[in-house]
Structure 1
């Protein structure tokens, strides 16, 4: 479990995060939802320690991370896996080498142990046999899967995904969403996903935090997000015609249930 307490962050006098608190549960896909420029990625970077908040704190399973001793922060970082927006694979390394990289940096595994782990992770994301392929030979969806394999290779406890569906077609995006959720539940990981994709929200939104202009305006699940009474959230959700139609269907079903 990850907890954030009263997180504030400004850049050059502009407030980006304004007192955000919340809990991200273990074994669940926790979504940071909002339009571009609402502070989602900045909050994610504050949580993982890439940016230091001006005020507030972050705890990982009860251990304070912000402003703690360097060795404690480093120990927590060893348990973190990251899936970057553009996958961020090393172009000069093949698939096998990309997945092996964090094992070389963070563990004392032997070469054979590393290869066993690499092959296991590639098999888990459905990419067995692709070890020697270069990133340039992979589709967008395959790159995301390699990124996931690399993130979970060191047996991460916490998984952070920044816009994992960016640039993917709807079917591939759905497969990546489901893979992230499966891995989260299977390994009991605390997963935080930054997204603005309502398809992801409906598909894997176990816990959702909606940000608007640096503030947390709503928190809930995919089961009750369509019933929100927050105007900013509703404007965001129902900007899509498909979502407006879905809302109408839901309202009609509720009317038919009423005697």
Structure 2
């Protein structure tokens, strides 16, 4: 579990985060939802230690991360896996070499054979067992995201952070990436934090959601509760999506959210 306590962050006197308090639960897909410029990425950078908050603190499973000793912060960082927005694969490395990279950096005592076994396991887990020798330029955008997930979980991460994992992907591929993140989170009991503005992801995998608006947390709940939230800013945000309007209509008619996947598109 990750706990964020009263985080403030400003740049040149302009506040970006204004006293954010939230909890990211273990074994769940925790989504940070909001439009562009709401402070989502800044919050992520504060949590993983790429940026220091002006005020506030962050704890990982009860261990203070902010302002703690360097060795303690480094130990926590070793347990963090990152899926970057653009994949951030090394162009000069094969898929297998990209996946192996954090093992070389973070697990120096692991033998070459052990690293190879771990890479094979992780690539198989994301459905890329036959792509290890390919270069990033030879695979699709969705495959690159899956390589990014394999690389993130290779060191047996405890915490997984995903920055806009569906960015640049078509809807069908986006759903597959969402499902993979959800499966891995629940299978391995990882504390997963997904930064997103995509309401489709909320409907698919939102175990726990916080909504940021202008640097403040205005709401938290889950994917079943969000359609009935009474926060005006959140209602304006979520019902801009035709999928969510359809989901709300199906729910109101006594159906299930899963039905919308098989429904023909129509104006709501």
Give the alignment's TM-score, normalised by structure 2: 0.93
Tell whether the 8 Å contact from 2:26 to 2:190 is kept in structure 1 after alignment.
yes
SS at match of 1:216: strand
Partners of 2:250 and 2:193 in 1: CA distance: 30
Partners of 2:85 and 2:119 in 1: CA distance: 22
Q: Which runs of 5+ in 2 are unaligned?
A: 256-268
Tell whether the 8 Å contact from 2:17 to 2:43 is kept in structure 1 after alignment.
yes
Aligned partner of 1:161 in structure 2 is: 162
Aligned partner of 1:71 in structure 2 is: 71
Aligned partner of 2:174 in structure 1 is: 173
Output one character per residue of 1:50-91: Cα deviation in whole Å (capped at 9) or x when no partner.
Answer: 000000000000000000000000000000000000000000
- Pairing 1:185–2:210 present: no
- Pairing 1:34–2:34 present: yes
Aligned partner of 1:113 in structure 2 is: 114
Partners of 2:147 and 2:101 in 1: CA distance: 12
Aligned partner of 2:215 in structure 1 is: 214
What is the Cα-based RMSD across aligned positions, in Å? 1.0
Aligned partner of 2:152 in structure 1 is: 151
- Pairing 1:98–2:98 present: yes
Partners of 2:251 and 2:180 in 1: CA distance: 28
Output one character per residue of 1:3-46: Cα deviation in whole Å (capped at 9) or x when no partner.
Answer: 00000000011110000011100000000000010000100000
Aligned partner of 1:14 in structure 2 is: 14
SS at match of 1:74: helix
- The Cα of 1:103 is off from its aligned counterpart by 0.3
- The Cα of 1:129 is off from its aligned counterpart by 1.6
- The Cα of 1:239 is off from its aligned counterpart by 1.1
Q: Which runs of 5+ in 1 are unaligned?
A: 255-259
Partners of 1:184 and 1:83 in 2: CA distance: 13
Aligned partner of 1:227 in structure 2 is: 228
- The Cα of 1:252 is off from its aligned counterpart by 4.2
Partners of 1:163 and 1:223 in 2: CA distance: 21
Partners of 2:177 and 2:193 in 1: CA distance: 14
Partners of 2:76 and 2:187 in 1: CA distance: 21
Partners of 1:242 and 1:99 in 2: CA distance: 34
Give the alignment's TM-score, normalised by structure 1: 0.96
